[in-house]
């Protein structure tokens, strides 16, 4: 894991050297190239000036802010360097808050923070344990990729998780969503809906949240490489039913899905059935458990 930032976390007079790492795994992303339809040649990124229509090199490109139509002020790398924000190398913790105070719409990108060297490990562990035991989150600022961002520092296991937060004025208000004033709730429907939610309540860790689109896309690519026909499955349209009927049927369906398995009847197992005995090697047990009888 390669660090993308190196600096310090500081609160009051306590300073902890840390490194920041991206928490997002990008190696599994399936990427495509743009190709010329005629000869499959790679399509390059040709940077052209929209004024003179000439191609330009990276060295000929500058950054400018349009303060009036077609009027720009140029900002150089030297200008950016003069900003001299403390948060370019220091995450200054401005206070500690309860996580419940930070609205989910403010959460942006997650990062990991780790100790920078053996000397920092003790203070890093102390901060992690303090946040975990107190239930508090540290709020500070840091400059990542040329922009200062608000960060929330939270414990995760034995380490620290950094969430880059959006600024509150960047987030729209839910009250601005059209037709909210037309929303009504029927008491009987609400009771059934709550019953349905209770019957469908599971542990988050038990949910299968793998990227099904990525898996399907990989299968598509493999099939095309091997020259196989790509078969699609049409999803059947569900009939439209009234909300009360749908709720009642959903509750019955959820209850039946949670019924315990039938107890063993004590019926003798025929010789054609495969049984893994206690002295069967683990590899045979696993194979036997996954093999289906021929129909």
Residue pLDDT, tens place only, 41-82: 888 777 888 888 888 888 899 999 998 998 999 888 888 777
Instruction: Decide if pLDDT at 162 tops 60.
Output: yes
User: Across 180-194, 198-212, 281-295, which has the greatest mean pLDDT?
Assistant: 180-194
Query: Which residue ranges form the domains of the chain, and what is each CATH number?
Result: 5-27+83-170 (2.40.290.10)
pLDDT of the residue at 276: 40
pLDDT of the residue at 292: 40
Q: What Cα–Cα distance (Å) separates residue 111 from each residue in 5, 65, 215, 239, 262?
A: 10, 30, 25, 44, 47
Q: What is the pLDDT of residues 24-36, one digit of tens each?
A: 877 767 888 888 8
**Measured in Å, how far apart are the chain's first and last C-alpha atoms?**
50
pLDDT of the residue at 288: 40
Q: What Cα–Cα distance (Å) separates residue 128 from each residue in 1, 18, 70, 122, 157?
A: 20, 13, 51, 10, 9
pLDDT of the residue at 42: 86
pLDDT of the residue at 200: 83
Q: Any idea what DSSP says for residue 176?
A: G
CA-based nearest residue to 109, from 73, 157, 152: 152
Instruction: Decide if pLDDT at 161 tops 70.
Output: yes
pLDDT classification of 149: cutoffs 50, 70, 90: confident
Q: What is the pLDDT of residues 207-266, one digit of tens each?
A: 787 877 777 778 888 887 888 877 766 666 667 667 788 888 888 888 887 765 555 455
Q: Report yes or no: 243 and 250 within 8 Å, Cβ to Cβ.
A: no
More confident residue, 24 or 85: 24
Average predicted confidence (pLDDT) for the chain = 80
């Amino acid at each position: 894991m390669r660090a993308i930032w190196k600096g310090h976390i500081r609160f009051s007079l306590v300073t902890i050297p840390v490194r920041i790492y991206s928490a997002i795994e990008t190696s599994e992303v399936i990427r495509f190239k743009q190709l010329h339809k005629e000869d499959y040649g790679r399509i390059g990124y040709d940077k052209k000036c929209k004024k003179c229509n000439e191609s330009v090199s990276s060295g000929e490109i500058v950054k400018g802010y349009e303060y009036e139509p077609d009027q720009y002020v140029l900002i150089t790398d030297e200008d950016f360097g003069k900003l001299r924000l403390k948060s370019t190398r220091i995450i200054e913790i401005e206070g500690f808050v309860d996580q419940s105070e930070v609205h989910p719409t403010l959460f942006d990108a997650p990062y990991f923070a780790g100790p920078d060297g053996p000397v920092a490990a003790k203070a890093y562990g102390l901060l992690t344990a303090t946040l975990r035991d107190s239930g508090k989150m540290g709020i500070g600022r840091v400059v990542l990729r040329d922009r200062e961002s608000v960060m929330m520092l939270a414990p995760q296991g034995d380490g620290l998780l950094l969430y880059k937060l959006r600024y509150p004025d960047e987030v729209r208000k839910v009250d601005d969503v059209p037709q909210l004033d037309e929303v009504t709730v029927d008491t009987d429907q609400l009771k059934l809906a709550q019953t349905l939610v209770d019957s469908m309540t599971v542990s988050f860790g038990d949910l299968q949240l793998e990227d099904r689109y990525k898996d399907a896309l990989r299968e598509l690519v493999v099939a095309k490489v091997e020259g196989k026909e790509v078969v699609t499955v049409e999803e059947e349209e569900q009939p439209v039913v009234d909300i009360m009927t749908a709720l009642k049927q959903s509750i019955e369906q959820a209850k039946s899905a949670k019924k315990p398995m039938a107890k063993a009847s004590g019926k003798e197992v025929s010789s054609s059935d495969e049984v893994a005995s206690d002295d069967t090697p683990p590899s045979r047990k696993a194979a036997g458990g996954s093999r289906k009888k021929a129909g």
